[in-house]
Amino acid sequence: MTRPSDFQGQPTNAADFIAESLVLAGVRHVFGVGGANIEDFFAAVQRRRPDIRMVLSKHEHAAGTAADAYARLTGGLGVVCVTSGGGAMNLVHALAEARASRVPLLAVVGEPPTELQGLGAFQDTSGRCGGVDAAAVFAAVSVWCTRVENVDDVPRLLAEALSFALGPTPGPAVLLLAKDRQRAELSTRPASLSGELAHAGAVDSARVRQACSLLHPGPIVILAGAGVARAAAQPELAAIADALDAQVAVAPDARDAFNNHSTRFLGVCGAMGSKAAMRAIDGARACLVVGTRLPLLTRQGCEATLAAGPLISVGPEPLFLKARDGLHLEGDLLRTLRALSDELHASEARCAPASREPPVSAPGDRLLDSQRALLQIEQALPKDGVVLMDAGNTGAASAHALRIPVGCRWLLAMGMAGMGYSFGAAIGAAFASGKRCFVLAGDGAFLMNGLDVHTAVEHQLPITYLIFDNAAHGMCLVRERLLLRENAGYNAFRRSHFGAGLSAMFPGLAACDCRTERELADALARAALLTGPALISIELDSVEIPPFSAFQQATPDGVTTVSRGHDDAAD
């Protein structure tokens, strides 16, 4: 095994330098798809097993989302590497999500040898002689991007990349590195970069005291976002809720920010939110916003109330919403919440309310709809698992209704809300956590990006895939029927049987199709006994109208589904 000491006083190449620096930075997994112009970096990482290892994804988008989830769950850096040309372009979507959601990533992107750039090189992304310029493309979806022009600059540029990726406003940093420069020798020895990555400033005590004064008297509602769990600040948030005797609503991507079974818990707010959350916000004297910038889907339906204030927010960036009476506490979330909790004084804290017991639904022979399926899934979730959702009908229904145990993590990519995120992300989540991960996705999302299931089979990862199969792009079809008021005829699919198909396609994958509550409960119980992956297809007869505010307003009373408008005779 190659060790850091082996490089002392010896020349090494740029690929080795970057790989060794990642080991010293605490990175243990790198995700990517290989190719001629990135193979040297792939090999440099693999030479350092078991300190760090390369995980081969089946698509660059999946590699990027795996690194994204890895960063979200570890609280550190996610790393992805891809080759030039189409491989590089396939990474754009994943980096856009990471930038929008403030996820720290490093992307190492290979390019053709410099002597061939601009001369018709295969997969040329140098921008020379009218070619595609990867630097221009990635600059739009990253917080930092540069092309290495001189190999001696690699140590400085890598430190700069990580400083931006992990900085006050984190996001993806992109290092473009030609094949010959990956191989070029360096005499510099890798060193720890931790000293260059500290950005947290002092908490402004005066503003903390001002926030406390605005939060008295009640009633107070706290709106919590995904930043809370990423900062591991759930205990601090709970202590503040107790001190203020506050109720708590969460953003759609933040069910892991607060105990879902607490009597303080209101559910999700915004477009997929609960009526209880909306009523509480309307009746609150002030609101405390923590770990979210209040994007549209989080604030929809309560914008006017929030804008009227008082609105106190905590996080590294200001809110998207401007309040007439607002106060923003900028800086490190965890440190600020601790200061706020201390200022509120433990002696003033009310008694913490009891938790509700989760409902128990005995499985029967009733056909599955999304709500019955979610009840069975809720009862099967372990206390230390990870739940990942995809965009669309499945994501909306899950965000609205699925309660998770304390200690369970929750990932919903709201930045770009791209379908298929959860399949690659589950790979990163499983490597990051070592816990069973649950993917909740629709059939449309699976058909886009689902074949990274193969990576889970290859590595025998503890992932349970739950495919909600309504044979349609469900949310698009609902929009078509309710908002466009027509049947365009292109959003419904022929029926597939994913369980049977994937069981045959991937030996070693426990896969099945379910139509009843009992079948789903039994399949979940079998999956819980496995050490490797399982896939359960939940076959739904109807396309349901999800709990989305725009749809609810356009739906006649008592109507819960829309017509597929598709001939199923060939099923």
Could you read off the pLDDT of 192-210 as tens digits, one per residue?
665 444 455 678 899 999 9
| pLDDT at 422 > cutoff 70 | yes
Paired tokens of 529: 């006994």
| pLDDT at 568 > cutoff 60 | no
Residues 30-89: tens digit of each pLDDT? 999 999 999 999 999 999 999 999 999 999 999 999 999 999 999 999 999 999 999 999
Work out the number of other CB atoms within 10 angstroms of the CB of residue 107. Answer: 30
- Residue 19 has φ and ψ, to the nearest 5°, of -60, -45
Q: Is 384 helix (H, G, I), strand (E, B) or coil?
A: coil
Q: Which of 78, 53, 59, 58 is nearest to 68 (CA)?
A: 78
> What sections of 392-469 are H helices per DSSP?
393-401, 421-433, 443-449, 453-459
| In the block, residue with structure tokens 């030039």 | 84
Is 72 within 8 Å of 411 (Cβ atoms)? yes
Residues 6+ apart with CB under 8 A from 267: 249, 250, 273, 274, 276, 277, 400
Work out the number of other CB atoms within 10 angstroms of the CB of residue 66. Answer: 32
115 burial type by CB count under 10 A (0-12 exposed, 13-18 middle, 19+ buried): exposed
How far apart are alpha carbons 9 and 373 in whole angstroms? 60
| pLDDT at 185 > cutoff 80 | yes
Write down the pLDDT at residue 76: 95
Write down the pLDDT at residue 486: 86
List, in sequence order, every residue forming a beta bridge with 30; answer none if it has no partner: 54
Residues 121-156: tens digit of each pLDDT? 778 888 888 889 999 999 999 999 999 999 999 999
Write down the pLDDT at residue 124: 83
Residues 515-563: tens digit of each pLDDT? 999 999 999 999 999 999 999 999 999 999 989 888 888 888 888 999 8
How far apart are alpha carbons 105 and 90 in whole angstroms? 16
Q: Which of 207, 308, 291, 310 is nearest to 249 (CA)?
A: 291
Paired tokens of 526: 């079998």
pLDDT band, residue 366 (cuts 50/70/90): very high
- Residue 438 has φ and ψ, to the nearest 5°, of -120, 120
CA atoms within 13 A on the CB side of 356: 13
Rounded mean pLDDT of 502-520? 96
C-alpha to C-alpha distances, 478 to 136, 172, 367, 472, nearest whole angstrom = 37, 34, 21, 10
How far apart are alpha carbons 232 and 409 in whole angstroms? 11
Residues 276-288: tens digit of each pLDDT? 999 999 999 999 9
Write down the pLDDT at residue 402: 96
DSSP at 25: T
Write down the pLDDT at residue 350: 62
Write down the pLDDT at residue 200: 54
Residues 6+ apart with CB under 8 A from 368: 514, 515, 516, 517, 520, 538, 539, 540
Residues 6+ apart with CB under 8 A from 209: 343
How far apart are alpha carbons 250 and 36 in whole angstroms? 45
Write down the pLDDT at residue 348: 62
Write down the pLDDT at residue 8: 47
pLDDT band, residue 566 (cuts 50/70/90): low
| pLDDT at 347 > cutoff 90 | no
Lowest mean pLDDT among 6-20, 37-51, 286-300, 499-513: 6-20
Paired tokens of 102: 């403030």
Write down the pLDDT at residue 198: 47
Write down the pLDDT at residue 3: 47
**Pairing mode of beta strands 220-224, 247-250:** parallel
Q: Which domains does the chain have, with CATH numbers?
A: 4-196 (3.40.50.970), 205-348 (3.40.50.1220), 370-562 (3.40.50.970)
Cα 217 to chain centroid, rounded: 36
Report the mean per-residue pLDDT for the chain.
91
Taking the alpha carbons at both ends of the chain, their separation in whole angstroms is 54
Write down the pLDDT at residue 265: 97
Write down the pLDDT at residue 364: 87
Write down the pLDDT at residue 569: 36
